[in-house]
Amino acid sequence: MAFFAVPAGAQDSGAPVSAADLISGEPHPLPVAGKVTMVDIGAHSCIPCRMMTPIIEELSREYDGRAAIAFIDVWEHREVASQYGVSTIPTQIFYDAQGKERYRHVGFLDKQSIVAKLAELGVK
């Protein structure tokens, strides 16, 4: 099954997407309906993006069921960058549970900062 990134605020198909799927680098309907969502937009071959990979993988497991942590590789899916208004990678976009963008960061973002932002958005 193929998933395509959709701009912020669009409705997803309701099809279940696993935490592992969300960090695969493939586009998915995002933000995830009813969940705080963090989307890391980068590339597997970008050095700061690669530095974030273990953080994103770890957070995806830790927050499974409580928040959605996603990664999209824009070098493999170039159309996604313009859909999300991204001109520099990595870029992290945080959405509240209603799908509204609440915060955007460009560059490497450490685990502690991501956890703090998720908490600020109500994730326990």
* Strand arrangement of the beta sheet that strand 37-42 belongs to: 68-73, 37-42, 91-95, 101-106
Is residue 49 annotated as part of the catalytic site, yes or no?
Answer: yes
**Active-site choice (33, 46, 97, 115):** 46
Look-up of token digits 């009813």: 34
Cβ contacts of residue 111 below 8 Å, gap of 6+? 55, 58, 59
Query: What's the CA gap between 91 and 86, in Å, rounded?
Result: 7
Active site annotation includes 32: no
Strand partners, 101: 95
Of 43, 49, 70, 93, which one is the catalytic site residue?
49
Token pair 């973002």 is at which residue?
A: 109
* Residues with active-site annotation: 46, 49
